[in-house]
Amino acid sequence: MNASTDRKSLADQVAHLCYRHFDNLPKKGKPLQGREWTIVAAVVQRTAKKVNSNISLKIVSMGTGSKCVGQSKLSQDGDLLNDSHAEILARRGFLRYLYHHIEIAVSGKESDIFVVDPKTKKFLQREEVSFIFFSSHTPCGDASIIVKETNTASGTTEEVLQPTNGSVSNPDEEPPLKLPKLEMQDVHRTGAKCVEGGPQDLKHSGIDHHIVGALRTKPGRGDRTLSMSCSDKFAKWIILGIQGSLLMNFLLRPVYVSHIIIGKCHFSQSAMERALITRFESALNQMQNTEFRQHKPEISQSQLNFRFGKQVDDEECQMQPCPSSIIWCACPVKQLEVAVEGRKQGLTKKNQNQSSCYLEICKKNLFKKFLFLLSKFQVDDLPMHLKERHTDIQTMTYNQVKRLCTDYVQMWEKARVNILPTWTTKPTALTEFTVSLTANS
């Protein structure tokens, strides 16, 4: 069996596992058959058994959805999910899973995924463990700008849609991204909008509708969002890791995904590689960071359909996006939640500000998980930079704690200056909240 066959086999195996897991979830939050569609995404843990060389696959988080909150509705309390696209929910559920396993390790028990580095007292991902990211649909944004197949375009699709120099242009420069006019009908469109201040879509007919390589934000319902497209967020995770800045305080190295697998839908291998890797590759190589570097995952597609997916062959389909999202995580408590417009389904104005009604993956609760985990350490067992600030951290704001891991922060700031100059900046007020630990943390 060659490498290409292996990739296809793994892709179908992972897709089947994810679709079956989705089917086994309760009905609440799922689309209405024949009337609504959604996207499902998941993080799958892949463990190579040392004893018999077997490979095991286990879903550790899952999310569904395609909605996003407009900038006028954002919350300063960290209690609202700004972005409810399936990929983002699956990733945030995965953060819960990582917190859970670090807590297991801190308690002295054996974690399936982490071991402690005795020198730094930080945690290391086990060598035999890797993580696969699955989505039933191509990520919104740059990866979704794909030439529609025609008989006259055979053999050229993979070469056409490429930004010059393999990177995003500086917004002060002339946009070099107008596509060459070949005998092609059109491109598949993305609803994600080019970020203001950067190169903009030409919006001409046919393949000149979009430019490629540009950073984009997700569309909102009449209100522009500040949430970057899934293509852009994947590109960030490939550089900085999927764990984010809070968890990086406890980790010796970032957590990268080894594979990205897409379900049966409009898909282009070159568009995925362009959007996630090559448009930033040259600039990143010049930055020469040893801890954070572009970790290139294997990218492949399954040929298995998701029965609740958007119709592949009909872009004018009358089915509507499902308004609700499902969030599932392989944690011992509150595994399953359903969200609508960034909050728990069924909330009223009267109880939406009660802490018991917050989604487990909202900023506020993930911040609380960080502080709760910190409280489980003996002070002498903390990484040095946390040990030095231990007495202050409990009263810090979310924004202050996010900046504690200076290596992560410095790399992110360099990336924003050098390769992501138009990445949106949310108002600081949205991250200035604090939390207090309670008995039910």
Positive or negative CA dihedral for 157, 159, 164, 167?
Answer: positive
**Cβ contact 97:90 at 8 Å:** no
At 17, the amino acid letter reads: L
Q: Is-catalytic flag, 315?
A: no
Please tell me the distance from the alpha carbon of residue 415 to that of residue 408, in angstroms, as a whole number: 11
Positive or negative CA dihedral for 377, 378, 379, 380?
Answer: negative
What is the C-alpha radius of gyration for the chain, rounded to an integer number of angstroms? 21
Maximum C-alpha span of the chain = 68
User: 320: part of which helix (H) or strand (E)?
Assistant: strand 320-321
Q: Which of 36, 87, 183, 413 is catalytic?
A: 87
User: 147: part of which helix (H) or strand (E)?
Assistant: strand 146-147
SS3 sequence, 347-416?
Answer: CCCCCCCCHHHCCCCCHHHHHHHHHHHHHCCCHHHCCHHHHHCHHHHCCCCHHHHHCCCHHHHHHHHHHH
Residues in the chain: 441
Instruction: Show the tokens assigned to 354.
Output: 């009660």
DSSP 55-118: EEEEEEEEEE-EEE--GGG--TTS-S-SEEEHHHHHHHHHHHHHHHHHHHHHTTSPPSSEEE-T
Residues 6+ apart with CB under 8 A from 404: 245, 249, 385, 386, 389, 393
**Cβ contact 405:286 at 8 Å:** no
Q: Which residues are marked as active site? A: 87
